[in-house]
Structure 1
Amino acid sequence: MLSPVDEIKARLDLVDFVGTYVQLKRAGANFKANCPFHQEKTPSFMVSKPKQIWHCFGCNEGGDIFKFIMKIEGLDFPEALKILADKAGVTLPKYDARAQSQRNTLLEIVKTAAEFYATQFNSPRGQVAQEYLAKRGLSDVIIKQFGLGYAPDSWDTLATALRDKFKAEDVFAAGLLIRSERNQGFYDRFRHRIMFPIRDVHGNSVGFTSRLLDETRAAASEGGEPRPSQWAGGKYVNTPETMIYNKGRVLYGLDLARQEIRARDYAVIVEGNMDVIACHQFGMVNVIAASGTALTLDQARLLKRYTNNLMISFDADAAGEHAAKRGIDVALLEGIRIKVITIPEGCGKDADECVRKNIKAWEGAVRGAQEIMEYHLQQAQKKFNVATAQGRSQFVHTLLTELIKLPDAIEQDFWIKRIAEILSVEEKLIREQMRKIHNPTRIPSPGLQPSSPLGRGQGEGARSRTELIAERLLALFFTAPSYAEEIISTILPEMLSPVLNQTLYTQLVACYTAYNSMGSATADANFGQFWHTWSPTQVGATEILSTADVLELFGDKEFEGWDNAQYKREAQFLIQELRREYSKTRRLELAQAMRRAEKEGDQARVQELTREFALLD
């Protein structure tokens, strides 16, 4: 019996489904289009009907029908499963109905609370909140769009309003009430505050950020009793984490910004809610905030559903800059390209002030945003005196510490040259210093594609040249297996990198041997069919099979229309380069092993290693 996922895949054709989003054109056995996830002029987005997979060789995104709808609609897997099940007419098995019911209850409570706060804002008791936001320059339209509200200066206004519809324990679980220490009751968490609903990517209110209106909290009632706002907490109070709200997994304003972010292919992240609202009011809709925290890994992954490009605006204080820098490190880890927006002097301390004071200055700051390394370079030049030995050392160390975080080897190479040029030193000195920081620069050959067909995993640096050559050679193996004999006779599995490619190569050789024994090795077109029949029973490992699918698709795209002469030149070049890279790496390993053996006085081992060293190409 098929699982729901497999049944959905069996009923829905990927080509038909993707075709509802992009215009596909046939390319041999596959279909191609301009990628919907990044801007490009030449189609690099491929869809395979036989394999029911898609892959973009421009941005390295790919997967099955589930991954496609998750990426293009910004869904998580359960959401994608439900939508596709409905389309396919597949009934999903029952899950934890109690947990889902509780989640739905909390969502309804927060939604009702947001409506309550909005009503209070528009009532006479909300006049102080109306005046405050009017002074901040917010229009009625933008206030309504973001659902801003007012929590009255009372102990139990919300609790009373929700009493007939919801249990107090559930409202407490939604983070809106605080349990009293004096009795068994509850009182409102938010009092005398501007309320900012926090919404998930689909527009569901999941929590609140709030700002205290009377910061002195010195008001007292006519009877002399202290008002609730005197114990209202700090200037800013947020909903605590609940079943439906985790501040590290939502981005403020993303529900309103996501389409514009995808259209412009970049997002601007600012520090505060008011920064976001001010930007949206002035037409800059691709602006979001990290809700009072440095950008988290979950937020970066959420953002990557819509773009790989992020501009970060620092607040003009040490805390804001520190949080932004931590966010930059997280974004770089996820392969997001970063630019830094610097607010011009005299235009305010944050995006909100800058937009209200001088919208042209803010627009200019966004247009002039610096690449992250350009920003670090400028800061280092201000901080260190490169005319002194110590200053030069600190300058280099500071920049290289940031440079190793860049995932792209080509960019790393550019900045190494730039640093060397600024200091008038040889590049090799900068590269040596970078190796000491324990992240060696690796540069793809000009004869190879600078990006890998397989992309990069979480936390990986740029792919090594050996990996790029290996992946291209494996793709060629699929596309032109008539050159397999030459590859097999000269390339050993250990010459490939990483272990995944070694394993796949070993399996390809075994498959080709079986294929050749049938007397069919001259028919290139049939080798792929044989692999797909042979591999599921012989290989088994899903990771190897999915890697093979992507490499085969990459070969179809990369070598489309090639003749035998081109295949031959490519095979010879890749074999030669892979052997050269292997020899270089092996020499280093042997040299290190010989030094260890010499230190240990093991002359027999030294001689053995010396002989192996001499046999290398």
Structure 2
Amino acid sequence: MLFERVCEYLISKETINEVIEKADIISVIRDYVSLRKRGTNYIGLCPFHNEKTPSFTVSPDKNIWHCFGCNEGGNVLRFITKVENFSFIEAIQYLANRVGVTIEIDASKSYDKKSPILETVNKSAKFYHSLILKEEAKNAYNYLLNRGFSDEHIKHFQIGYAPRSANSLLMFLKNSGAAIDSLISAGLVIKRENGDYIDRFRDRITFPICNSFGDVIAFGARIIPGADESKQAKYINSPENDIYHKGKILYGLHLTKDHIKKGKTALIVEGYMDFLSCYISGIVNVVATLGTAMTIEQARLIKRYADNAVIGYDSDAAGVNAALRAGEILYNLNVDVNIVEFSKKDPDEVIRSEGIESLTNQIVNAIPFTMFKIDKTVAKYNLQVAENVSKAVDEIVVFLDSINDALKTQPIIKQVSDKLKISEESVYSKLRQFRYFKKTGGKDSSKNVKQPTKDKYVKAQEIIIRIISQDCLKRKEVSQELPPEYFVDENMRKIYSIICNNEGSSTSIIEMLDDELLKNRYVSILINDMKEEVNGFWDNVKVLKNFEYEQKRINIEESIKHAQEDNNLEELDNLLKELNNLRLRRVSSTFKQDEESSRNNND
């Protein structure tokens, strides 16, 4: 199991449990999810799937979370692992730093399968950086100087040079002991048709991409100016792998997150050069999305550090459309969004052509996202034609429908009304019509169908598991009274067995479950308080003990029905005798169980 392997090789169970117990689950999750209190729990919109109605629940008393929409769940460690795409070790280290627990990891032992890749990529970054001042990198170095970079900047950002030769990095890494598998996994080499390997990056300036800890996890690489761009891409990036997921990384965040958090505002740009130009010019609350398509994971990262976002994408059509998409994602995360319309193509060009003061002024005068959205939508239509006004409203209504906070729609509708010189009621009417047809227009309505009530045996299993997770005395007692075989569901049987064979808390038991489905099932049981528990714990034990009888009775009665239909009198007689014997055994067993239940409930 994951938990046990980590404990055995790297970190003690006691240390892991200490980190989990000390971490305030509400405080941790609030960095990613807007939570509001409901009873003893907190609810919010799930960070792992798109939803408009909150189904994400956090229980501070039980120190767990669960989403009833996507069925994900776990403890605070599992949340951080999932939301940050951390390895187990990274998540433990992150939480330990947060709560002030010192963790000593035996570096001579390796558990985390990402470590060899991470080590290889960081060695590569040092190799590339060591070459930037060499004679063979003269053109690359001069380009950086002409773009305003000093030697100090080059060192600070670990900018490097990938040599022209086909296998310089490959030979360097092999000589340093790196396995070819880690080079392939990291995307640093490419396999040719003849079976040979060559470096992915050749004769390019390299820009390391780092995770939140500052470890290099990938590279962006630019061709040397003057090279023929018709024969090769201007920029190429590392492929995604175990440690690098482009949509979950913000370029430069490891350098700027403290500045962003302090000022509560992030400037979001597209690429490396936009970021670097801003940073060396003194704008240090900046990040780059490494392309135009912002993801929900990147938006949540921004939300973690900033209440306000200024989107500074390129001023071309692709950049405007991307800014609209990014703005909508951030807006629905309750980030206050403004969008810059640059006088030049991008912020880097503004700085080089007009200076940093001009860029600063353009950022200060950024347009509120909702106004930008309305303006860009309306600009596509000739409003002198009456039907185009209706088309413009129809397009804006789609955006209004996507807003998960009803209070936000009112001021936007007023803006639309003022812009198009139409009544607010006409916009509301369009919105109501859109939602009605969306609801009744053949969409999957299965989510609205009430699920059938769980039978008493499944409920009894859940109640027993929930109670023994919190009551160690009952855990010990029931393990002697109720063998795992009485649990009719295989997954429930596995969970029950692990609980009975361990003395840990429910949060530590989560980590002992080696299957994601088991974890999610267990957490959903823990977080769901059921009224049926008033029936008494031992009554539910009795229900499970009676299950075998019920199953056999149902099967025999079904066979009796078929025997009657077939007029098979001999088979019918045998089945009736079997049913009678089963009932006699039930009477004897029930008497014994009643004695046990009375004794246990009175203890």
Pick from 410, 425, 445: which aligns with 1:428? 425
Q: Equivalent residues in 2 for 1:363-382 (5 A)?
A: 363-382=360-379
Deviation at 1:325, TM superposition (A): 3.1
2-side partners of 1:351 and 1:10: how far apart? 43
User: What amino acid maps onto 1:360 in structure 2?
Assistant: E
1:109 aligns with 2:109: no
Pick from 410, 415, 431: which aligns with 2:412? 415
Partner of 1:118: 129
Partner of 2:480: none
Partner of 2:280: 281
Structure 2 stretches lacking a partner, 5+ long: 5-12, 32-39, 41-58, 66-72, 438-447, 451-522, 531-603
Provide closer, same or farther for how the CA distance between residues 64 and 356 of structure 1 changes in structure 2, counting only shifts above 3 A: farther
1:394 aligns with 2:391: yes
2-side partners of 1:424 and 1:324: how far apart? 26
Provide closer, same or farther for how the CA distance between residues 426 and 293 of structure 1 changes in structure 2, counting only shifts above 3 A: closer
Deviation at 1:175, TM superposition (A): 0.9
1:258 aligns with 2:270: no
Secondary structure, counterpart of 1:383 in structure 2: coil
Secondary structure, counterpart of 2:219 in structure 1: strand
1:163 aligns with 2:174: yes
Deviation at 1:266, TM superposition (A): 1.9
- 8 Å Cα contact 2:218/2:238 also seen in 1: yes
Provide closer, same or farther for how the CA distance between residues 54 and 359 of structure 1 changes in structure 2, counting only shifts above 3 A: farther
Pick from 336, 346, 351: which aligns with 2:347? 351
Provide closer, same or farther for how the CA distance between residues 318 and 380 of structure 1 changes in structure 2, counting only shifts above 3 A: closer
Deviation at 1:384, TM superposition (A): 2.9
1-side partners of 2:258 and 2:183: how far apart? 32
Deviation at 1:66, TM superposition (A): 4.1
Partner of 1:146: 157
Structure 1 stretches lacking a partner, 5+ long: 22-29, 31-48, 56-62, 219-229, 441-496, 500-538, 547-617
1:195 aligns with 2:215: no
- 8 Å Cα contact 1:194/1:210 also seen in 2: yes
User: What amino acid maps onto 1:350 in structure 2?
Assistant: D
Q: What is the aligned length?
A: 400
2-side partners of 1:74 and 1:307: how far apart? 17
Deviation at 1:383, TM superposition (A): 3.3
Pick from 127, 132, 137: which aligns with 2:143? 132
Secondary structure, counterpart of 2:371 in structure 1: helix
Pick from 382, 385, 400: which aligns with 1:385? 382
Partner of 1:534: none
2-side partners of 1:274 and 1:172: how far apart? 28
User: What amino acid maps onto 1:174 in structure 2?
Assistant: A
Deviation at 1:250, TM superposition (A): 1.0
Deviates more, 1:253-262 or 1:85-94: 85-94
Deviation at 1:326, TM superposition (A): 3.3
2-side partners of 1:272 and 1:88: how far apart? 36
User: What amino acid maps onto 2:170 in structure 1?
Assistant: A
Deviates more, 1:273-282 or 1:388-397: 388-397
1-side partners of 2:84 and 2:528: how far apart? 27
2-side partners of 1:136 and 1:374: how far apart? 35
1:12 aligns with 2:11: no
Secondary structure, counterpart of 2:208 in structure 1: strand
- 8 Å Cα contact 2:266/2:309 also seen in 1: yes
2-side partners of 1:141 and 1:422: how far apart? 50
- 8 Å Cα contact 1:251/1:291 also seen in 2: yes
- 8 Å Cα contact 1:11/1:88 also seen in 2: no
Secondary structure, counterpart of 1:437 in structure 2: helix
Deviation at 1:267, TM superposition (A): 1.3
Provide closer, same or farther for how the CA distance between residues 253 and 13 of structure 1 changes in structure 2, counting only shifts above 3 A: closer
- 8 Å Cα contact 2:324/2:373 also seen in 1: no
Secondary structure, counterpart of 2:244 in structure 1: coil
1-side partners of 2:371 and 2:301: how far apart? 26
- 8 Å Cα contact 1:152/1:191 also seen in 2: yes
What RMSD, in angstroms, separates the aligned Cα atoms of the two structures?
Answer: 4.5
- 8 Å Cα contact 1:8/1:88 also seen in 2: no
TM-score normalized by the length of structure 2: 0.57
- 8 Å Cα contact 2:87/2:112 also seen in 1: no
Deviation at 1:8, TM superposition (A): 2.6
1-side partners of 2:358 and 2:524: how far apart? 59
User: What amino acid maps onto 1:317 in structure 2?
Assistant: D
Deviation at 1:402, TM superposition (A): 2.5
2-side partners of 1:89 and 1:281: how far apart? 36
2-side partners of 1:174 and 1:192: how far apart? 19
Provide closer, same or farther for how the CA distance between residues 353 and 382 of structure 1 changes in structure 2, counting only shifts above 3 A: same
TM-score normalized by the length of structure 1: 0.56
- 8 Å Cα contact 1:332/1:407 also seen in 2: no
Partner of 2:188: 176
- 8 Å Cα contact 1:178/1:186 also seen in 2: yes
- 8 Å Cα contact 1:271/1:313 also seen in 2: yes
Deviation at 1:4, TM superposition (A): 6.4
Provide closer, same or farther for how the CA distance between residues 363 and 406 of structure 1 changes in structure 2, counting only shifts above 3 A: farther
Deviation at 1:359, TM superposition (A): 1.4
Q: Equivalent residues in 2 for 1:436-447 (5 A)?
A: 436-438=433-435
Identity %: 30
Deviation at 1:258, TM superposition (A): 0.8
Partner of 2:241: 242
User: What amino acid maps onto 2:350 in structure 1?
Assistant: C
Deviation at 1:80, TM superposition (A): 4.1
Provide closer, same or farther for how the CA distance between residues 425 and 243 of structure 1 changes in structure 2, counting only shifts above 3 A: closer
* Residues 41-98 of structure 1: per-residue CA shift (max 9 Å, x gap): xxxxxxxx9959899xxxxxxx999489969x9895843434556878799999xx87
User: What amino acid maps onto 2:349 in structure 1?
Assistant: E
2-side partners of 1:306 and 1:75: how far apart? 17
